[in-house]
Copies of this chain bind each other. A is one copy, B any other.
Amino acid sequence: MNMELNHTHDASRRSWLDEANASDTDFPLQNLPFCVFRRGNSAEAWRGGVGIGDRIVDLAALLQAGCLRDRAAEAAAAAAGATLNALLELGPAAWQALRHELFALLLAGSAREQAVQAVRAALVPQAQAEYAVPVRIGDYTDFYTSLDHAVNCSRQLGLEVSANFDWLPIAYHGRVSSIGVSGQQVFRPLGQTRARPGAAPVHEPCRRLDYELELGAVIGTGNARGTPIPLANAQQHLFGLCLLNDWSARDIQAWEMLPLGPFLAKNFATTVSPWLVTLEALLPYRTGWSRAPQRPQPLDYLRSEDNARAGAFDILLEVSIQSARQRARGGQPHALTRTSFRHQYWTLGQMIAHHTMGGCNLQPGDLLGSGTISGPTAGEAGALIELTVSGTQPVEIGDGERRGFLEDGDTVVLRGWCERPGFARIGFGTCHGTVAAPPAA
């Protein structure tokens, strides 16, 4: 894929679908994110779709109408099944061909009238849809790449940030089976915790349940085992990004994580948003050229001569919360955090270069979590453990309610979007999940 801006980034282009031209839509003509969907509560097959305004282009229906050409038709066929993996395997040129064909067909004034009619017939209202995790994830890796998050968490433990943070994007392998799509019910986990060092642990429901604001990056094309991906090429291996909530049980984590890392504290649930915003749509929001130099200077394999290819993006992010009581009253979620991914110390490109440097192979559909995204100021923390200083300074969530950690019935909502003068707003939709009581044992 050509990593330069092209006509699909032109903010002056508008769609014949009015809802795609609204200034606050997440899904203008310039976005065209991918999902897997079906009509809610139906027996329809799960299938690939592309978001436009408040609709979904049903790729299987469009393909059947016969109005897609050549490479775009091949790509749509690969995306018409229950996961997008076959599309990912086709590679960047195919992804781009399909995106550009859809752009042309959705553009106001398109000369291909018959094809436009077919597109119109293939639109499904998002309000009628339900979504699936859009890819079959082979492996899920969760990083730890926000310096502000590392500082906030370490300070609470009276520790320095670990010495390796400055030298490598720290990561660990996470759990695939419990990854669910936005709307997931998150059972409060049972776990072992202990009241204080030296005490015997107890087995009880988690008391310090938290969220983590992250971005998910979906690998489009992988690498052979033993063949690292150089940083200069890393960005091209990404298909797209989504929102990700890395639910975390802080009390379980504190007891279990030495010496081998988090396990039950993280693997009970991870929630992703249904939409994969393509790398091509995000190109106007690269921040490589404006980032401060990393000090100490990274080792060669993590250093880019071309900052625009480093895989850094300015993505605005927000976390909101709504209690069960507030939901019953019909209130709006209460915003807790607003920050941007531009503050992240390590870039997505550096994460990929490091991940594969030792010979590990990535595969189409693999998911990378960015790690918690926290910005430099107090209101920019991406987890309650930071915002509330381990629960000791509860935050207001509206209607007189306060939270140190999450309570049963709480819904956590993540949102993300990009905006910049002269370019279209590129949104991610929402990623939400609701805490439920542990099932009866």
* Residues in chain B near residue A226, CB distance under 8 A: 187, 268, 436, 438-439
Cβ-based interface call for A64 (8 A): no
Complex CA gap A192/B301 in Å reads: 10
Query: Which residue of chain B has the shortest Cβ distance to A227 in the bound complex?
Result: B439
- Expressed in whole angstroms, the Cα–Cα distance for A364 and B180 within the complex equals 18
A264 to B164 CA separation, bound complex (whole angstroms) = 13
- State the number of copies, please: 2
CB of A89 within 8 Å of the partner chain: no
> For the complex, would chain A's binding face be called helix, strand, loop or mixed by DSSP majority?
loop
Does A290 belong to the interface (CB within 8 Å)?
no
Checking B191, B225, B439 against A268 with a beta-carbon cut-off of 8 angstroms, the contacting residue is: B225
A257 at the interface (CB under 8 A from B): yes
**A174→B441 CA distance, assembly (Å):** 28
Mask for A252-264, Cβ within 8 A of B = 1, else 0? 1001111111111
Contacts of A256 in B (CB 8 A): 164, 168, 170
Flag whether A139 is at the interface (Cβ < 8 A).
yes
> Contacts of A383 on B, CB cut-off 8 Å?
none
A175 CA to B239 CA in the complex, in Å? 21
Closest to A267 in B: B360
29 pairs across A/B with beta carbons < 8 Å?
A: A138-B176, A138-B177, A162-B259, A164-B256, A168-B256, A171-B263, A172-B173, A172-B260, A172-B261, A172-B263, A173-B263, A173-B267, A175-B360, A176-B176, A178-B360, A178-B361, A180-B225, A187-B225, A190-B228, A191-B358, A202-B299, A203-B301, A226-B438, A228-B441, A252-B358, A257-B259, A259-B261, A260-B262, A267-B358
Residues of A near any B CB (own CB < 8 A) = 138-139, 144, 162-164, 167-168, 170-178, 180, 187, 189-192, 197, 200-203, 206, 222, 225-228, 249, 252, 255-265, 267-269, 296, 299-301, 354-355, 357-363, 366, 436, 438-439, 441
Going nearest first, the 7 A-B pairs with the smallest beta carbon separation are A261-B261, A189-B358, A187-B226, A264-B358, A173-B173, A268-B359, A172-B260
